[in-house]
Structure 1
Amino acid sequence: MSARDLDVGFSGRLVNFEAARARHGEKADFMARMLAVGDPLADAVIAELDSLGQAGRQLLNAGLTDGLDSLKDPPPAIAALLRQLETVPEWVDREALVQGDVVSQSIPPLWSNLAFSAGSLVHTYSSPAIARLLVQTGQLSTMARRRLLETGIWRIQSILPGGLVRGAPGYVQTVQVRLLHARMRATALKRGWEHERWGVPINQTDVARTWLDFTIVPFRALAQVGLAITEEQQESLYRHWWYVGHLLGLDEGFFLPLHNHDEAEALLELVDSTTTPLDENTRILTMALLDANVDELCAVPGSPFTRPVARELLNALTRLFQGDEVADALGVPPSPVMSLLPLFAGGNAETRRWQVRTPDAAEQARAENLAVYREWTSLAPDGTEYQKHIRAAG
């Protein structure tokens, strides 16, 4: 199947493809092909869990925590997934995994959260295909606050020291997210998802877009508010998230070529320039997300925010991070807080200069951030949707 055929076949997904192909060559063809690819290993596990019920889920949970070797006669699909997960690629720096994502740990939690919400998640939901799937689940627009919290917890667990070591919370939750994607994929296909128009639900290109929303998208946003990172830090950041991509089942062809923001920006431009225009689903999700984030900002003990102030701040940041054209299309209005953003950026930049002036100062700032991040991981005491999905009976 040629990329030209895909451009016609997936009319709901690809626009401006020939122009993108002229700029990006084979990378554009690769991206187009990946619209037709899901995650066979995870999809097989979902089918197996449907057959085995609770017993299968118990085996899966035990395997994720204690490893494949701890299971006696594991079912074939679960065994295959665990074998892939536990085959650590040669490019993984095991010592770095113990440290976690030290670059993300250096970012103040409040600004990290704001960049993730107004930058990353708004960008994720700006894909009509992703938005269409999420709205069809009937969950996100009515449970946005819960999903915002859960996604944030998973992100934090993935950056903490040792979080991606086998059996650790970040490792387990990343695989749970992967399996939830597979469940949503199976459900959408059963409900008549238009594969020929939209491609496979939560396909490899969708997962790549999500991966970019944890790397270039939030850190580009952070740079706009005075929290830029060095080239050396970029290298460290991407190497950490390579492994997250591996655990998510993302094809290495998407992430291994990326070592810095410039290289990631090229992939982001390819994905964004071929994405269909924003629609009503993207607007519904964005408004639900911003409403939920207002709730979160105001609910923190000792929060300085009132609801009107929180909303204006989020509107301003969304317009800064996404640009006026996208913000207008999403229905995000202009905000008087826009005039204050340069002051925030200047203050953040000055604070960061002091925090990194010596190794001891940088370590102290990282330790303070980690204390807050760890506290935030306890904000869903009854477990996340990812965890509940895996625990659920068949």
Structure 2
Amino acid sequence: MTALHPTPTPTTAERATGLHAGDPLADAVVAELDLLGAPAQRALDVGLRGGLASLHEPAPEAVAALLRQLESTPPGVDPLMAHRGDVVSLSVPPLWFGLCSITGTLAHTYASPAVAGRLVRAGSPAVMAPRRLAGAGVWARQTMRPGGLLRGAPGYLGTVQLRLLHARIRLTAFEREGGAAEGGASAWNTFARRRPPTGQDDPARTWLGLTLVSFRALAAVGIEIDPDEEHSLYRYWSYVAHLLGLDETLYGNVLDHADAERLRALLDARTAAPDDNSRALTTAMVDAQARAMAGAPGAVLSEEHLRYLIHSVLRQSFGDETADLLGVPVPAATHLMPLIGKLNRQSRYWQTFSPASSGEARRRALDGPGPELIAAVLPVGTATGHRSREGERSGAPAA
């Protein structure tokens, strides 16, 4: 395997600059969709599914530029990787992936008061929590599946949708500050010059959520990966970062958890402490996940026990200080977590003992999103591909 990026490791200052960079390609596409309407929308949809070469007429300038960037292959990426999928994440049993990875990722997102404030303004935390759990779980599974990141596949489309949603959020924040009062193309020119300070914080937080944060949470229940698996994980997610539009200085030399921790520290240094909105969203998310998993077919744990497990995982993976700020209570003293960790370590040993056992673990993960995600998806119809209001405005295809 070729090294991911044989380039010098970016300095902290270079990565800080990358966080400020924003995503000019996605910003320009959202501008073009607003200005040109249906023709640009059709060109984007067709191009994302069939590629730039599949368009019968020249695409609008910004749409064409985005498609060219998406269709380029970052240096060092194995062309067969997308066909195999994220073999490391797919080795995790679906129940633990939902309980640890998805809840940890969302809690990491909600820890940003800027993100939490936007989400609370969009709807009641208790009402929206199942929908957000379902959306995060479905996108993650689609992204990880073999072939999921191939052009036109659900993971590819969902990742670009998320990228354009972040661009729409940047514009909305700019408009809220009165920056687009003049309207039209002039407003977008002003936006390009005065890009909001959030830059790439939101997509970087999402990316870290399903890599570093996810596996820190899994480690809390005894599901750990070795150095080779870490490298494989970050090689795969470097391509996800490319599709998300992350600046290469942020992810290009992130090869393992230690590298990712440095990026996370830089991101956290730019982020205010969790606030009341963060706590409301985290509480609603934990309640929704425990309720969905307890009510899933074949569930063996009560909602109370599942809530305890999620609280324990969050406290161990985030640390007491951040967990306190997120409003995660201290579970009652028990020996349940050490026992779960021991059983999972034994189980993972046999799952990864041979290529055959590893393949069987991945096959089971691919059989479906897991009962806890199905239970979360069905009430809100996320699995049918309905777009959110912001997703519709972004012009991206439904995940």
Q: TM-score, normalised by structure 2?
A: 0.84
Alpha-carbon distance in structure 1 between the residues aligned to 2:166 and 2:65: 18
Shift of 1:266: 2.1
Aligned counterpart in structure 2 of residue 57 of structure 1, from 41, 44, 53 = 41
For 1:146, the aligned partner's letter is R
Q: Could you say which residue in structure 1 is the equivalent of 2:27? A: 43
Change (3 A) 1:211 1:193: farther
CA-to-aligned-CA distance 1:212-238 (integer Å, 9 cap, x gap):
111111112212211111111111100
Shift of 1:139: 6.4
Q: Could you say which residue in structure 1 is the equivalent of 2:90? A: 105
Q: Could you say which residue in structure 1 is the equivalent of 2:153? A: 168
For 1:37, the aligned partner's letter is A
How many residues are paired up?
366
Q: Could you say which residue in structure 2 is the equivalent of 1:382? A: 384
Alpha-carbon distance in structure 2 between the residues aligned to 1:169 and 1:187: 26
Aligned counterpart in structure 2 of residue 305 of structure 1, from 298, 301, 307 = 301
For 1:50, the aligned partner's letter is D
Gaps of 5+ in 1: 1-24
For 1:244, the aligned partner's letter is V
Q: CA RMSD in A?
A: 2.6
Q: Could you say which residue in structure 1 is the equivalent of 2:268? A: 272
User: In the alignment, is the contact (CA less than 8 A) between 1:48 and 1:56 conserved in 2?
Assistant: yes
User: In the alignment, is the contact (CA less than 8 A) between 2:138 and 2:383 conserved in 1?
Assistant: no
Shift of 1:337: 6.7
What pairs with 1:125-144 in structure 2 (closer than 5 Å)? 125-138=110-123, 142-144=127-129
For 2:51, the aligned partner's letter is G
Residue 77 (str. 1) matches residue 62 (str. 2) = yes
Residue 156 (str. 1) matches residue 174 (str. 2) = no
Identify which range, 353-362 or 374-383, moves more after superposition: 374-383
Q: Could you say which residue in structure 1 is the equivalent of 2:165? A: 180
What pairs with 1:191-206 in structure 2 (closer than 5 Å)? 191-192=176-177, 200=196, 202-206=198-202
For 1:61, the aligned partner's letter is D
Alpha-carbon distance in structure 1 between the residues aligned to 2:59 and 2:322: 48
Alpha-carbon distance in structure 2 between the residues aligned to 1:132 and 1:193: 18
Q: Could you say which residue in structure 2 is the equivalent of 1:86? A: 71
Shift of 1:201: 6.3
Change (3 A) 1:301 1:347: same
Residue 229 (str. 1) matches residue 213 (str. 2) = no
Q: Could you say which residue in structure 2 is the equivalent of 1:255? A: 251
Identity of counterpart residues, as a percentage? 45
Q: TM-score, normalised by structure 1?
A: 0.85
Shift of 1:111: 0.8
For 1:269, the aligned partner's letter is A
Identify which range, 181-190 or 249-258, moves more after superposition: 181-190
Shift of 1:347: 0.3
Alpha-carbon distance in structure 2 between the residues aligned to 1:193 and 1:149: 34
SS across alignment from 1:341: helix
SS across alignment from 2:384: coil
User: In the alignment, is the contact (CA less than 8 A) between 1:150 and 1:384 conserved in 2?
Assistant: no
Shift of 1:140: 5.4
Q: Could you say which residue in structure 1 is the equivalent of 2:351? A: 355
Shift of 1:245: 0.2
Residue 294 (str. 1) matches residue 290 (str. 2) = yes
Alpha-carbon distance in structure 1 between the residues aligned to 2:267 and 2:41: 35
For 2:308, the aligned partner's letter is E
Q: Could you say which residue in structure 2 is the equivalent of 1:124? A: 109
SS across alignment from 1:258: coil
Shift of 1:262: 1.5
Alpha-carbon distance in structure 1 between the residues aligned to 2:178 and 2:277: 16
Q: Could you say which residue in structure 2 is the equivalent of 1:27? A: 11
Gaps of 5+ in 2: 1-8, 180-190
Alpha-carbon distance in structure 2 between the residues aligned to 1:391 and 1:274: 29
CA-to-aligned-CA distance 1:226-257 (integer Å, 9 cap, x gap):
11111111111000000000000000101111
SS across alignment from 1:372: coil
